[in-house]
Amino acid sequence: MEQPRPDLIPNPAVRRLSLYLRQLESFKRKDRRTISSKQLGESLNLTDAQVRKDLAYFGQFGNPGIGYRVDDLIAQVKKILGTDKVWNVLLVGSGNLGRALMAYKGFNAKGFRLTAVFDASPQLVNKKIGSFNVQPMTELEATIQKNQIRLAMIAVPADNAQDVVDQLVAAGIRGILNFAPTSVNVPPNIALTAVDLSVQLEQLSFQVNFAGMAPTPLSDTGS
């Protein structure tokens, strides 16, 4: 598969890749061997043209008259997303949300392994939470190098978020999933995605508040 020019691929197409992967895995659980772009699209309220266009950014996958082989396409999409290998992930913040992330079982199945947990608070450092031993921030760089960690999740108070992000970037982290309820800045070569649970509820309350509004579920899915 030829590596595409990543700057030419729109973010929404990459988001839909994750949705295609979910659907393909669901088809696989139902023992489907092949699937057409029309069937894959219909399961997500997308047109077959959209499915073909999204996949075409990354190569030529289908077989005329057969469609896509489910197993093959799962493997290819995982390779594109980078989840054909396991990523070690660290977490900074062991408060309520941090503990939730520690307990969340969904990451492992998708190729992510929570490997280390850090906290700045002396009250929490060295505490045992589930199977994790909360480490001090001073051990960040050594742990990142030892475990070849590239991805981090932060679940810290808003006022600490930028400082934590700066420390992560300096220590070699390349992608950050920000659960702190604030915006943070990263250098252009660092990937950043934000998940603010209250923002998600606000978006819903806006839509419900404006009762006449027709929501567009798919444009929000997975984003």
Residues 110-149, interacting with a copy of itself (CB under 8 A) = 110-112
Q: What is the DSSP annotation of 144-202?
A: HHHTT--EEEE---HHHHHHHHHHHHHTT--EEEE-SSS-----TTSEEEE--HHHHHH
What is the per-residue binding string for a copy of itself in 13-42, x denoting contact by CB under 8 A?
A: -xx-xxx-xxx--x----------------
Residue from 104, 138, 146, 163 that binds a copy of itself (CB under 8 A)?
104
* Paired sense of beta strands 191-194 and 34-35, if any: unpaired
Q: In the chain, which ranges are E strands?
A: 34-35, 68-69, 87-92, 112-118, 128-129, 132-133, 151-154, 175-178, 191-194
47 lies in the site for a copy of itself, by CB under 8 A: no
How far apart are CB 143 and a copy of itself at their closest, in Å?
18
Chain residues 148-177 in contact with a copy of itself, contact rule CB under 8 A:
150-151, 153, 158, 174-177
How far apart are CB 198 and a copy of itself at their closest, in Å?
4
Q: How big is the chain by its Cα radius of gyration, in Å?
A: 20
74 lies in the site for a copy of itself, by CB under 8 A: no
Residue from 80, 134, 154, 164 that binds a copy of itself (CB under 8 A)?
80
How far apart are CB 54 and a copy of itself at their closest, in Å?
13
Phi and psi torsions of 117, nearest 5°? -125, 135
Chain residues 187-206 in contact with a copy of itself, contact rule CB under 8 A:
188-206
